[in-house]
Amino acid sequence: MRRNLRIILALLAMAFVFCFVGMSVSAADSTLDEVLKRGELRVGVFTTLPPWGFLDENHEMAGYDIDLAKQMAKELGVKVKLIETQGPNRIPYLQSGKVDIVIMCFGNTLERAKAVGFSQQYAYEFVALCAAKSKEGIKGLEDLSGLRAGVERGSTHDMLLTPLVPKDTKVLRYESPTDVFLALKQGKIDASIAGASNTAIFCREHPEFEIKADILKGKYAAVPSMGVRRGDQAWLNWVNLFIDHMNRSGKNQELYRKWFGFDMPKLTGKW
């Protein structure tokens, strides 16, 4: 009996040691430590989604997410390296280590969370249905029967909303929201499904178009989060604390107002 007890205690001790070593290795390998040692933060950003991220008249990266990336690097005391990224390669870039973090209006779906770690929400967005003002019959997804709808390939809108359109709707997928709006302007599609902020900018620049509806009528809002490699809790903790400090200092609201032209609605987990 005593011999069995000694064996059990020995096994428990070994398990504790392995657990402690594993935790130490995990902490030592954190992206946070790598960034600080490297002296550079590599951030995946959009360059085709104004005002989140785009190329300005000088062909320089600009936008809300760009400013957040620069502020994050400043708080870390390192340089920032902005890496042009598209929706389909956000997750591969994280998994391969090409970027340390993704800041690009990344909707935190449960499916994506199987592959990446998501921060807390850092901004607000909802999904807009846009079409020409002359198309008075389009008021919701149910009105897209027999029509052509454009969406960004692999986006939150693609995964969550295109299954809800009528079966005879022809869904055309494009590589970026900019391509979606270009197709709408050129008459290649009858309606677009995209984020409300950049849809509003498109409509302001092209007044013949308008937002027809908040597609899910307030029952769902895309929740932009920052993406990190799954399992890197130390890095995720720092990123969440950064977002919290940005919110409490008012800096996040200041940047949002700068790029979107209106105050960010109060962030909440209740939709």
Q: State the pLDDT at residue 271.
A: 38
Full set of structural domains in the chain with CATH: 31-124+223-260 (3.40.190.10), 127-214 (3.40.190.10)
Express as a percent the part of the chain with pLDDT over 70: 85
> 173: burial class by Cβ within 10 Å (0-12, 13-18, 19+)?
middle
- Helix (H) or strand (E) segment spanning residue 152: strand 148-152
Can you give the pLDDT at residue 220? 61
> 213-216 long-range contacts, Cβ below 8 Å, gap at least 24?
213/128, 213/129, 213/139, 213/140, 214/126, 214/127, 214/128, 215/127, 215/128, 215/129, 215/140, 215/141, 215/161, 216/126, 216/127, 216/161
Report pLDDT for 70: 98
Contacts of 254 (CB under 8 A, 6+ apart): none
Confidence bin at 261 (pLDDT 50/70/90): confident
Q: Are strands 116-121 and 101-107 parallel, antiparallel or unpaired?
A: unpaired
pLDDT for position 241 = 98
122 contacts 227 by C-beta, under 8 angstroms: no
Tokens of 262: 């209106």
**Distance, CA of 135 to CA of 94 (rounded, Å):** 41
Q: Is 116 helix (H, G, I), strand (E, B) or coil?
A: strand
- Are the beta carbons of 54 and 47 closer than 8 angstroms? yes
Rounded CA-CA distance 194/198 in Å is: 8
Q: Tens of pLDDT along 190-211?
A: 999 998 878 888 998 899 999 9
Q: What tokens does 129 get? A: 């249905």
Count CB neighbours of 205 within 10 A.
11
Count CB-CB contacts under 10 A for residue 69: 27
Under a CB-based contact definition with an 8 Å cutoff, are residues 61 and 52 in contact? no
Predicted confidence at residue 190, as pLDDT, reads 98
DSSP state of 263: P
User: The pTM is what?
Assistant: 0.69
What band does 159 get if pLDDT is binned at 50, 70 and 90? confident
Q: Is 268 exposed, middle or buried (0-12, 13-18, 19+ CB in 10 A)?
A: exposed
DSSP string, 19-80: HHHHHHHHHHT-HHHHHHHHTEEEEEE-SEETTTEEE-TTS-EESHHHHHHHHHHHHHTSEE
The answer to whether 150 and 237 are in contact (CB under 8 A) is no
21 φ/ψ angles, rounded to the nearest 5 degrees: -65, -40
